[in-house]
Structure 1
Amino acid sequence: MAVVVVTGTGTEIGKTVTTAAVAAVARAGGRSVAVLKAAQTGVAPDEPGDAGEVARLAGVPATEVSRFPEPLAPATAALRAGMTPVEPEDVARAAEKLAVEHDLVLVEGAGGLLVRFGAHGGTLADAAGELGAPVLVVAAAGLGTLNTTALTAEALRARGLDQLGVVVGSWPERPGLAARCNLADLPTAAGAPLLGAVPAGAGSLAPGGFRAAAPGWLGPGLGGGWDAAAFTARFAAPPAGN
């Protein structure tokens, strides 16, 4: 897997921190890693973005293909700023260049899988198709996540794209009933394995602490030691009435 595309089932669900965790674990395993942010929106030219956060937490090189100032979908943000939009081909070319010199390239999307990049309707799914890369899905923990995860998985299958699995991007310290039940249900919704659960607030850790803890958040499929079955059993909710 020279290139892996990381998408979310929505915004603000822990995609960037999950990308950093995957990068940190791969780096600790002796692999050279680079991270590419397909399109950064909502930050000024001199402000740190998601790529900078990944670089800080994981200690790997990270860069952006394009950046737009308003916190909107990339296509809309580019249009409103009068800037050239990013296209799936741009993302694929940038990732391929990084893959020449790195064992693993993680391509982080903006928002969900089918958010439009440019005027022609290109998406992160199209970039993954150009690359022939598998896709890691980052999902929310609570109510509603089964639907958005299933829709993302269906879109991947419709495009012939491989899904590595699902990571819960922000696992709460005190999970409610829906989150606890979703651990067992997410693999069914996704049609793919549960590969990790990153704790809420993990991005606030110091880089050294983040890197040391990351292998405990991700399963063997992503190079870590997290046990999906044990984690699910730990939070299993008893049937109603028991």
Structure 2
Amino acid sequence: MSSCSNALVICGTDTDVGKTVVSALVVQGLGATYWKPVQSGLEGGGDSGRLQALLQLPAERLLPEAYRLQTPVSPHWAAELEGITIDPARLALPAVAGALVVETAGGLLVPLRRDWLQIDQLAAWGLPVLLVARSGLGTLNHTLLSVEALRQRSIPLLGLVLNGPLHPDNPATLAALAQAPVLAQLPPLEPLTASGLAAQWQAQDLGRTLTAAMGAAPNPH
């Protein structure tokens, strides 16, 4: 069954930085099970629906969300609009065969409820984080603040994935200032296809570097 040694969380520095695309990249590359615990906004089937449309996963590798919230706003507010309070006990990690990829909703400090931030849930899980960031303008501040928040809570950081047009300086600057490896730079893929993601996985040798980072991550369990 899945254990902390082959499970990871994919988080973003902000909304719409490409977490689901990177999640698809990693799920396909590792042959992992995918879980989006909290989904706010169900247009297009939510992120689980979009990932399934892209990868055509077998049913056992696509877990149902713990919470499916209609409104595309912060989870705490979406839940309140539906008369729901998100219970961290329902977010316990599932037992699966093989690797597990967990995709969060929005950025690290997004509230799941008014007294429980997403980063509090990350600390409770104790899983290492793969942080997805934009490649271009604005990424330095957002990414460094996110790295600082993770380290203040002793949450292991596997590395960074930069999503978007390749940038001539940001990868080196982030690697130096964040003291974390840039494991991949994912350019825009038009059209976005499973085969295109597989080609990027191979070309960037992400299987080797990510597996090595996961093996080196502290295991608190």
- Same fold by TM-score greater than 0.5: yes
Higher Cα Rg: structure 1 or 2? 1
Q: Deviations over 1:163-184 (max 9, x none)?
A: 0000012x22xx4xxx321011
Residue 7 of structure 2 aligns with which residue?
Answer: 3
What amino acid is aligned across from residue 143 of structure 2 in structure 1? T
Match of 1:35 in 2: 34
Identical residues among aligned pairs (%): 34
2:189 equivalent in structure 1: 201
| Residue 52 (str. 1) matches residue 49 (str. 2) | yes
Q: Distance in 2 between matches of 1:160 and 1:15?
A: 22
The answer to whether the Cα contact below 8 Å between 1:36 and 1:65 also exists between their aligned partners in 2 is: no
Q: CA offsets per residue over residues 166-225 of structure 1, 9 Å max, x none? A: 0012x22xx4xxx321011111232211011112236x433344334433245332259x
Change (3 A) 1:119 1:14: same
* 1:191 is the counterpart of 2:185: no
Aligned residues: 203
Shift of the 143–213 alpha-carbon distance from structure 1 to 2, 3 Å rule, reads closer
TM score, norm. by length of structure 1: 0.76
State the Cα RMSD in Å. Answer: 2.1
Any stretches of 5+ residues in structure 1 without a counterpart?
28-32, 225-242
Letter in 1 for 2:82: A
Alignment of 1:50-199 (within 5 A): 50-60=47-57, 61-62=61-62, 63-82=64-83, 84-91=84-91, 93=92, 95=93, 97=94, 100-120=95-115, 122-169=116-163, 171-172=164-165, 175=166, 179-199=167-187
Distance change (3 Å), C-alpha of 1:222 and 1:162: same
Query: Residues 57-103 of structure 1: CA distance to partner in whole angstroms, max 9, x if unpaired?
Result: 33442232211111111001111232x23344322x1x2x2xx3322
